[in-house]
Each structure stands twice: as structure tokens, then as C-alpha cells.
Amino acid sequence: MSALKMQALYAGYGASTVLHGVDLEIGKGESVAIVGRNGAGKSTLLMSVFRETNILSGEIWVGGARIDGLPGYSAAKLGVAIAPQGRRILPNLSIRENLLLGAATRRPGRWNLRTVFDLFPALEQRANSGGMMLSGGQQQMLAIGRALMANPDLLLLDEPSEGLSPLLVDDLVRALDEIRRAGTGILVVEQHLSLVRRATDRFVILSKGEVVGAAPTAEIDDPRHQTLMAL
């Protein structure tokens, strides 16, 4: 059974259609990247899982449940969590309180305050500080940690390396490796291919809202795929 499946998905915002017949399937425990130019529809694809877009037609399945006609929180209850672009840290809450928000679904599993702090020690050191007092890299750790607190089967990441130094990207890759070893699948939207090469099994190319290519990550530097990513 797939962790996530989209079939012939058309979605957008208002009268604007962004995704045009997207077919996508993510296996349990798999790590997949969605790549493509700005405006290709990558973030729209992720947001559609949580019904933050207008679903025009097609199907979205999480596990064995079809959710495209259900409320947006249904994906979270079924085991999908997201660390969104921009991180969306709540400034009036401490790091600890931001993390505890992620546990609202009460799904059982490995991830709790202790295991998240073990994964991101910098968060424990400042657990009672305000979330916005962190550096950009630490805020990204907090966004991922908050998502993990939901004990998801599939973790969605939207541009996680945005604004991070190469050293912090190394730390992020190590964290993603540990998350995968714990059995959590990953679907990441990412423009920086250095992270894609090191943290995913395969990639899917999106162009103008359509899937135009897919291959194992080992083939990402093939000129044919590079051309498709530039469309």
C-alpha cells in the first residue's frame, strides 16, 4: 500500500489551475524529491494534500483512504505531516510549545520531545526560548521537529534548505537520514540538488504543473533530466 498516491490531479487557486493531471505515488518509507523551476507547481502539490488548494478533479489517497473530498486535517490524522516553506513558527510560543503543537493528532510512535531533542540538540538547549529567537537553520530544525511530533508515516518538506549554509545543509541531510532509518517516508520539494542527491531515492520533475520525468536519484545529472528541469 502506498503512503501517498495522486491520480489525474487537477488543482489550483480560485480560477487558476496549477496542477494538470498529476500522477504520483510514494511508497512507504521511500524518500522522493519533487524538482523543477519556480512556478512549476511543486508547493501546490504539497498543499493539495491538506486541501489548501482548490481540488478540481482527480484523487488523493493516503494509505488506503481517499481524502480529496475530506477536510484538510484528514491527511494529518492518517499519518502525513509537513514542515512548510517559511517554517511558520509561532512567535508567541516557546520552542517546547511549538513542538507540542505537532503532537495534537496523538498518533503513537517513536517521536516525542526526548527523541526530537536527541535529533536536534540545539533545540533542547533553548527549549524555553521563543521560537523566533532562533537562527534560520534552527527554525528549520524546529519546523521539522514539530512535524515529527505528529509521528507521521510520511513527512513533507517544502524547500527545507532555503537560506541555509552548506554546513547546515550537511546537518539537515544527517537528520533526514536518521528520520528515514526510523521508518518515516519523505517527500521533499527542493531546488538545491546537492540535498536531493544525498537524501532521496528518486526524483520527479514537475514543469508547468505536469509530471514530465522521473528517475532514480543516481540519474539526476543526466543531461536529459537537466533539460526537463529547466523547462
pLDDT at residue 131 greater than cutoff 80: no
Q: What total number of domains does the chain contain?
A: 1
Fill in the amino acid letter for 189.
V
The mean per-residue pLDDT over the stretch 149-162 comes to 95
**Which has the closest alpha carbon to 145: 182, 107, 95?**
95
Q: What is the pLDDT of residues 164-201, one digit of tens each?
A: 888 889 999 999 999 999 999 999 999 889 999 999 99
Chain Cα centroid distance, residue 76: 13
User: Over pLDDT 70: what percentage of the chain?
Assistant: 100
Q: What is the pLDDT of residues 78-95, one digit of tens each?
A: 999 999 887 778 878 899
pTM: 0.94
Task: Look at residue 117 and give its three-state secondary structure.
Answer: helix
Among 10-19, 27-36, 81-90, 113-122, the minimum mean pLDDT is found in 81-90
Q: How far is CA 50 from CA 121, 167, 212, in A?
A: 30, 32, 24
Among 80-94, 108-122, 148-162, the minimum mean pLDDT is found in 80-94
Q: Provide the pLDDT for residue 105.
A: 82
| Sheet containing strand 154-158, strands side by side | 80-83, 154-158, 185-189, 31-35, 202-207, 210-216
Q: Provide the pLDDT for residue 20.
A: 98
CATH of the domain at 225: 3.40.50.300
Confidence of residue 26 (pLDDT cuts 50, 70, 90): very high
Q: Provide the pLDDT for residue 191.
A: 86
Mode of pairing for the β-strands spanning 16-27 and 202-207: unpaired
Q: What is the pLDDT of residues 29-70, one digit of tens each?
A: 999 999 999 999 999 999 999 999 999 999 999 998 999 999
DSSP letters for 52-115? -SEEEEEEEEETTEE-TTS-TTHHHHTTEEEE-TT----TTSBHHHHHHHGGGG---SS-SHHH
Cα torsion angle, 113, 29, 6, 200, sign: positive
Q: How many other CB atoms sit within 10 Å of the CB of residue 8?
A: 12
Residue 76 is part of which domain span? 2-229
Confidence of residue 202 (pLDDT cuts 50, 70, 90): very high
Q: How many other CB atoms sit within 10 Å of the CB of residue 68?
A: 18
33 membership: H or E segment, kind and range? strand 31-35
